[in-house]
Amino acid sequence: MTTAAPRRTTTASELWTNWLPAVERLVPVPVEYRVATLAHQEAARELAIDEAVLENLVGAGFPAEDTPDGLRYDYHDVMNLGLQSGLGRSLAELGERQCMRLAAGQPEAWTTERVTRLRLTATCDAAGCTSCVTIPVPAEPAPKLYEGRLTEWAREETGSMVATVTTRGHRDAPRTDTVRRIHDDLLDRLVSGEYQYGWVPEGLRSRPAAAIEHRTVDCIVAAWQMQQWAEEAGVRARTRRGFLLGLIGVEHAWTEVFEEGRWLLLDPVLAYLGSRHRATHPEFADFTRGSVHNRLLAWDRSVDESLADHDCVAGGHVRVDCRQIPVPRTPA
For the segment 41-51, the average pLDDT, to the nearest whole number, is: 97
User: What pLDDT is stored for residue 309 in this prediction?
Assistant: 86
User: What pLDDT is stored for residue 26 in this prediction?
Assistant: 97
User: pLDDT for 136-186, tens place per residue?
Assistant: 899 999 999 999 999 999 999 988 999 999 999 999 999 999 999 999 999
User: pLDDT for 70-79, tens place per residue?
Assistant: 999 999 999 9
- pLDDT class for 1, splitting at 50, 70, 90? very low
User: What pLDDT is stored for residue 268 in this prediction?
Assistant: 98
**Yes or no: is domain 106-332 CATH 3.10.620?**
yes
User: What pLDDT is stored for residue 6 in this prediction?
Assistant: 57
- C-alpha dihedral over 7, 8, 12, 15, to 10 degrees? -30
107 DSSP assignment: G
- C-alpha dihedral over 282, 285, 286, 287, to 10 degrees? 100
Burial code (b: 16+ CB inside 10 Å, e: under 16) for 68-101 equals eeebbbbbbbbbbbbbbbbbebbbbbbbbeebbe
User: pLDDT for 224-233, tens place per residue?
Assistant: 999 999 999 9
Q: Is the pLDDT of residue 55 over 90?
A: yes
User: What pLDDT is stored for residue 159 in this prediction?
Assistant: 86
User: What pLDDT is stored for residue 311 in this prediction?
Assistant: 77
For the segment 207-216, the average pLDDT, to the nearest whole number, is: 97
User: pLDDT for 301-332, tens place per residue?
Assistant: 999 999 998 877 777 788 999 999 998 776 66
pTM of the model: 0.93
206 DSSP assignment: T
For the segment 287-304, the average pLDDT, to the nearest whole number, is: 97
User: pLDDT for 269-288, tens place per residue?
Assistant: 999 999 999 999 999 999 99
Q: Is the pLDDT of residue 131 over 70?
A: no
- Average of per-residue pLDDT values in the chain: 94
Range with the lowest mean pLDDT among 58-62, 237-241, 323-327?
A: 323-327
If one counts every other C-beta atom within 10 angstroms of the C-beta of residue 297, the result is 25
So where are the chain's domains?
12-102, 106-332
Range with the lowest mean pLDDT among 101-105, 125-129, 205-209?
A: 125-129
Q: Is the pLDDT of residue 27 over 60?
A: yes
